[in-house]
Amino acid sequence: MPEVTKLALPLDVGGVTIRNRVFLAPMSGITDEPFRQRAYAHGAGLVVSEMVASGELAKGRAGCDLRIRHSGLPVHMVQLAGREAVHMAEGARIAAGEGADIIDINMGCPAKKVTGGYAGSALMRDLDHALSLIEAVVGAVQVPVTVKMRLGWDENALNAPALARRAQEAGVKMVTVHGRTRCQFYQGKADWGAIARIKDAVSIPVVANGDVGSPEEAAEILEQSGADAVMIGRAHYGAPWAAGRIAATAAGEATSGVPDSPKAMADYIAAHYEDILTLYGVESGLRQARKHLGWYLDRHAAGVTDDRRNAILTSFEPARVIALLREAFSGEGDAAPLRSAA
């Protein structure tokens, strides 16, 4: 059968059944509860929380509770980051206590504020220390533990196969690999073929990540990597249905719930906006929502004037924001027709 069709099949991760093999990547400041609920409703097989700093979670810092709380979806997956085994273990226990079905360990984030604290992909520079964190988390909880990593720190240290192999020996049930090194950040093209070396090193499921945004790209990354599943990140900007569209294509079905008219798109964006305000409160929610509104406008509204776009993104009045959104998708004045929702 064509390689891409396997994405429609369920996948077992340490005894937890995932409904298909197209996943929403954890993205800081993006994959909060309203976003994950939408992605799952559109058909994503698995959705992952924003990265949660284990030290802050263990210390009860404000805001962490929103990142780990159960969103009511069938599988609740929480991603933790950190450098201290005691905090990683305690963070995992807290997340599991809140209903997490799977705990993911971040060993792939390239951001300087993360790697500067010797977390994220910086852990790939010291595999012994990385393994001490994995062992601490696996030993702290009864739920499956997974790891997300990059190919290595740089081109001279492509040690993802070794990390994946040692992680499996420590009890990890799945690994996700972004096909770049940390030093590449998001530059150039992800090396899908390099992920095959990680697949060859382990027997647990391997998820391929990096530069996938279409069914065709999903098929190609599977062919080059031999991976068991794919994870989609930035293609979701302004399109929470990106993973669901790939999963639906693999199953020969239509994508569920994608807005198909300017009015439907305006209604969709307004509902997402209101859910963000409800989650964070109006003051914080206004700031959290702006990036999403900008992506929706960039992706789906052609020709909206700079003045109107600026008014939507800077207004402190939710009712005005929603009214301006509806005008932007109304087809009147300087508003624009709906671009492809793909």
Terminal alpha carbon distance of the chain: 25
Contact 327, 291 (CB under 8 A): no
Tell me the three state secondary structure of residue 54: helix
CB proximity list for 179: less than 8 A, separation 6 or greater: 151, 190, 191, 192, 194, 195, 208, 209, 210, 211, 221, 225
Q: What angle do CA 190, 292, 33 make, to 5 degrees?
A: 90
User: Residue 207: which H helix or E strand, with range?
Assistant: strand 206-209
Q: What does the alpha-carbon distance between residue 299 and residue 296 come to, in Å, rounded to a whole number?
A: 5
Q: Is 64 a catalytic residue?
A: no
The Cα-based distances of 246 to 21, 169, 235, 254, 341 in angstroms read 10, 32, 11, 10, 13
Comparing CA positions, the residue from 174, 159, 171 lying closest to residue 209 is 174
Among the listed residues 109, 140, 221, 328, the single catalytic one is 109
Task: Determine the residue type at 139.
Answer: G
Placement of tokens 């950190």 in the chain: 82
Residues serving a catalytic function are 109
